[in-house]
């Protein structure tokens, strides 16, 4: 009586709707259908809405004349240029502030990170206070503080604060002498490029020789000599083809030299101080992650402290620091979009701000802006994956 029932209850396979493969297929089909439905309804709604508002779709607007000025431009730009060009002006300004910010934040971060671990109690305390203060205050607030509370109330150009008659600080910006390149300066550039190539070759040769024979070479000093010496030689040979142009007050404003506009200065200060605090924490955690035994082992092998730091501690700390560092660089680049709050003409302020308002091409403009940031972050992510794979601890 019991036997046949048992056989009935033990089928060779479960019913098809209980099989994982079937469920997975069904679920994914439903997901794709739902996504298509949502996408389709968004698409048709958008088309309808655009038609109602009389906005034509497409990227034709990019070739129209923009008709608005931009505060700062790294490439030639005026009102008669196209909307397409405003995109590049904004993009370059974003890249400029990001590059400068990354350099400054790295400097601040490394100094402060090491300072926080310093044996000097006072220095460590100051670094801690810096990190804990600026990490916990919103970046936008800091940007606005520097811009509206510090840089805007500076005196007008006529009452500028001057430093040695060459540097001037007023509410229009920070004026510094600018280099003027005369004929023949190209040779200096060529000399520098040659020096870089020479240093690379030299470093490779030195390493190979050390691996083969154990003899060391003073690569650092020779490279420095090459990098400074060759361009200097070219500079002297061509008869010093460069001079400095000093800013001078003409009428209501300064002319000549170079200027850092207050918008850029505020953004740069806030970004580098804010990100510097995060980088300092990354540096600290990286150094702490290298166990003390490593230092002791290096000393036991007879390495001097400087060499220990350079060859044992830093390479291992970098494994922890670099991933955090790149994610902070990425954050800084994305955060530079807050420029729009104080009117620094970055990509978001110029393109997703003024250009969008003038043309009304919201979909195209936002898509292009997002694509830029996505490209930057995806390429950095790819670099990170490559780096992690290369540097991963190979354990037995």
Partner 1 sequence: MKEHVPHPDLPPPISNVGVIGWLRSNLFSSWLNTGLTLLASYLIYLSVPPLIDWAFLRADWFGDSRDACNSGGACWVFVNVRFDQFMYGLYPAAGYWRINLAFGLLVLLAIPLFIERFNHKGLLAAAILFLYPVIAFQLFAGGSFGLEPVETTKWGGLTLTLILSGVGIVASLPIGIILALGRRSEMPIVKSVSVVFIEFWRGVPLITVLFMASVMLPLFLAEGSHFDKLLRAMIGIVLFQSAYMAEVVRGGLAAIPKGQYEAAEALGLNYWKSMGLIILPQALKLVIPGIVNTFIALFKDTTLVLIIGLFDLLGMVQTAITDSNWLGFSIEGYVFAALIFWIFCFSMSRYSQALERKLHTGHAR
The residue among 50 and 238 lying less far from partner 1, judged by its C-beta, is 50
Taking CB under 8 A as the rule, does residue 392 contact partner 1?
A: no
What would the two tokens of residue 127 be? 């670094």
Q: Give the total of residues touching partner 1 (CB under 8 A).
A: 56
Dihedrals φ, ψ of 249, to 5°? -75, 115
Stretch that binds partner 1, among 154-162, 185-193, 233-241, 370-378 (CB under 8 A): 370-378
- Binding residue for partner 1, selected from 96, 144, 187, 314, defined by CB under 8 A: 144
Match 């393109």 to its residue by tokens: 351
Burial environment of residue 80 by CB neighbours within 10 A (0 to 12, 13 to 18, 19 or more): exposed
42 scored as a contact of partner 1 (CB under 8 A): yes
Name which of residues 229 to 268 contact partner 1 (CB under 8 A). none
Q: How far is CA 142 from CA 153, 170, 283, in A?
A: 16, 20, 23
Binding segment toward partner 1, per CB under 8 A, in 74-82, 249-257, 292-300, 366-374: 366-374
**Nearer Cβ to partner 1, position 318 or 376?**
376
| Residue placing its CB nearer to partner 1 in the complex, 124 or 187 | 124
The two beta strands, 173-176 and 258-260, are: antiparallel
Helix (H, G, I), strand (E, B) or coil at 181: strand
The answer to whether 46 contacts partner 1 (rule: CB under 8 A) is yes
The CA-CA-CA angle for residues 20, 21, 26, to 5°, reads 95
Check if the beta carbon of residue 171 is closer than 8 Å to that of residue 177.
no
Identify which range of 167-175, 196-204, 298-306, 348-356 contacts partner 1 by CB under 8 A.
348-356
- Contact between 137 and partner 1 by CB under 8 A: the answer reads yes
Closest to partner 1 by CB, 224 vs 371, is 371
99 contributes a contact to partner 1 by CB under 8 A: no
| 391 interacts with partner 1 by CB under 8 A | no
* DSSP at 155: P
Dump the DSSP string for 106-137. HHHHHHHHHHHT-S-HHHHHHHHHHHHHHHTS
The interface with partner 1 within residues 317-346 (CB under 8 A) comprises 334-335, 337-338, 340-341
Q: Contact with partner 1 (CB under 8 A): which of 195, 283, 350, 352?
A: 352
Structural tokens at position 137:
């205050």
- Residue 78 lies near partner 1 (rule: CB under 8 A): no
Nearer to partner 1, 149 or 237 (CB): 149
Task: Return the residues of window 11-40 that contact partner 1 according to CB under 8 A.
Answer: 24, 27-28, 31-32, 35
For the purposes of burial, counting CB atoms within 10 Å of the CB of 322, is it exposed (0-12), middle (13-18) or buried (19 or more)?
middle
Tokens standing for 146? Answer: 């520097």
Considering the complex, state which of residue 253 and residue 359 has its C-beta at the smaller distance from partner 1. 359
DSSP 247-281: -EEETTEEESSEEE-HHHHHHHHHHHHHHHHHHHH
Tell me the two tokens of residue 43: 């698409």
285 and 324 Cβ atoms separated by less than 8 Å: yes
**CB under 8 A: which stretch of 6-14, 158-166, 173-181, 358-366 binds partner 1?**
358-366
Is the separation of the CB atoms in 56 and 73 below 8 Å? no
122 sits near partner 1 (criterion: CB under 8 A): yes
Residues that bind partner 1 (CB under 8 A): 24, 27-28, 31-32, 35, 41-42, 45-46, 48-50, 52, 118-123, 126, 132-133, 135-142, 144-145, 148-149, 153, 334-335, 337-338, 340-341, 348, 352, 356, 362-363, 366, 369-370, 373-374, 376-378, 381
């Amino acid at each position: 009586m019991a036997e046949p029932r048992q056989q009935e209850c033990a089928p060779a396979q479960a019913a098809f709707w209980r099989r994982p493969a079937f469920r997975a297929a069904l679920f994914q089909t439903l997901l794709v259908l739902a996504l298509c439905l949502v996408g389709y309804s968004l698409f048709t709604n958008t088309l309808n809405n655009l038609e109602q508002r009389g906005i034509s779709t497409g990227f034709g607007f990019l070739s129209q004349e923009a008709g608005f000025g931009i505060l700062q431009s790294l490439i030639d730009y005026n009102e008669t240029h196209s909307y397409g060009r405003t995109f590049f002006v904004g993009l370059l300004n974003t890249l400029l502030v990001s590059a400068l910010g990354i350099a400054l934040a790295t400097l601040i971060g490394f100094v402060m990170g090491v300072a926080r671990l310093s044996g000097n109690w006072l220095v460590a305390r100051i670094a801690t206070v810096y990190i804990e203060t600026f990490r916990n205050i919103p970046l936008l607030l800091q940007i606005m503080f520097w811009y509206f509370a510090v840089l805007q109330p500076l005196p007008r150009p006529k009452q500028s604060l001057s430093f040695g008659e060459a540097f001037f600080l007023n509410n229009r910006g920070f004026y510094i002498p600018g280099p003027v390149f005369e004929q023949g300066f190209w040779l200096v550039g060529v000399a520098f490029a040659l020096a870089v190539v020479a240093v690379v070759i030299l470093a490779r040769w030195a390493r190979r020789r050390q691996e083969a024979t154990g003899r060391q070479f003073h690569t650092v000093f020779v490279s420095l000599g090459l990098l400074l010496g060759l361009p200097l030689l070219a500079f002297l040979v061509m008869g010093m083809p460069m001079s400095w142009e000093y800013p001078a007050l003409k009428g209501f404003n300064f002319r000549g030299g170079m200027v850092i506009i207050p918008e850029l200065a505020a953004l740069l200060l806030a970004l580098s101080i804010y990100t510097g605090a995060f980088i300092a924490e990354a540096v600290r955690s990286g150094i702490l992650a290298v166990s003390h035994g490593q230092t002791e082992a290096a000393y036991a092998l007879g390495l001097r402290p400087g060499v220990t730091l350079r060859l044992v501690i830093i390479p291992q700390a970098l494994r922890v620091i670099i991933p955090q560092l790149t994610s902070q660089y990425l954050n800084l680049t994305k955060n530079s979009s807050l420029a729009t709050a104080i009117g620094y003409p970055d990509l978001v302020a110029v393109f997703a701000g003024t250009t969008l308002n003038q043309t009304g091409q919201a979909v195209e403009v936002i898509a292009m802006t997002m694509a830029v940031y996505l490209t930057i972050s995806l390429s950095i992510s790819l670099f990170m994956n490559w780096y992690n794979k290369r540097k991963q601890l190979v354990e037995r």
